[in-house]
Amino acid sequence: MIEEKFSLTVNDKLEFDWHPCDAEELDVAETGKNTFHILRNNKTYRAEVLEADFSAKTFRIKINGSPYKVKIADDYDLLVKKWGLAGASGKKIKNVKAPMPGLVVGVSVEVGQEVSKGDPLLILEAMKMENVLKSLGEGRVKAVFVEQGTAVDKDQLLIEME
């Protein structure tokens, strides 16, 4: 059995491994939109998700009022980094797909628009969080297949680039 693990980097300084089985030590209760009460080892924590960018695997959170930036790398990301391929992908992007099921709450681009890496493309609400999907490279919008209010499935084509 292969044990999945993730490498977390907090505030671009602290790095550590996290295993999904570690979540069993947590008692988590949702207290509001993007807010949670966490109990671990008889200690309580107030957590708030400020921003989630699933495509870049980065999150801004607050724990007990202190802000943190968290970057998550899975086994694939770690392998790409180990082999030195992180910058090997081309700058042109072709398609933008939904990273998870959700509801489109805003579209920031239109057909013919030029986009650069990091430009916001659309906002997808999933798990009661609004997630800004940003361009992973450069391109021109060829087609937009969704509009505000569209429910989407994971891996559904949202935007086609040329």
Share of the chain above pLDDT 70, in %: 90
In the prediction, which pLDDT does 3 show? 64
Give, in words, the CATH class of 92-161: mainly beta
pLDDT in tens, 111-151: 999 998 888 999 999 877 888 888 888 889 999 999 999 99
In the prediction, which pLDDT does 129 show? 83
- 86 confidence band (pLDDT: 50, 70, 90): low
**Which residue ranges does the chain devote to CATH 2.40.50.100?**
92-161
In the prediction, which pLDDT does 79 show? 66
In the prediction, which pLDDT does 80 show? 64
Full-model pTM: 0.53
22 phi/psi in degrees, rounded to 5: -65, -25
